[in-house]
Amino acid sequence: MRYLLLIPIKFYQLFISPMLGSNCRFQPTCSQYAYDSVKNHGFFKGLALSAKRISKCHPWHDGGYDPVPKKII
């Protein structure tokens, strides 16, 4: 089931993101974070982690280095 999310994320990274340019305030980028979180933690946990990360994407958050957690408590 996780591949249902990985395919559109990879499509975005390969075809849409290059047209938009580099403007992500986080490292790794939000799309890479989403890809890694779904790949490492599965569909539901990965989707929740991705949504939490994307919710931080606004002008009042500093951004910076925010890796996918290795384990979720």
Q: What pLDDT sits at residue 1?
A: 83
SS3 state of residue 3: helix
Q: What pLDDT sits at residue 40?
A: 95
Query: Where do the structural domains in the chain lie, given as residue ranges?
Result: 1-13+25-72
Residues 14-72: tens digit of each pLDDT: 999 999 988 888 999 999 999 999 999 999 999 999 999 999 988 898 889 999 999 87
> Which are the contacts of 1, defined by CB distance < 8 A and separation ≥ 6?
42, 43
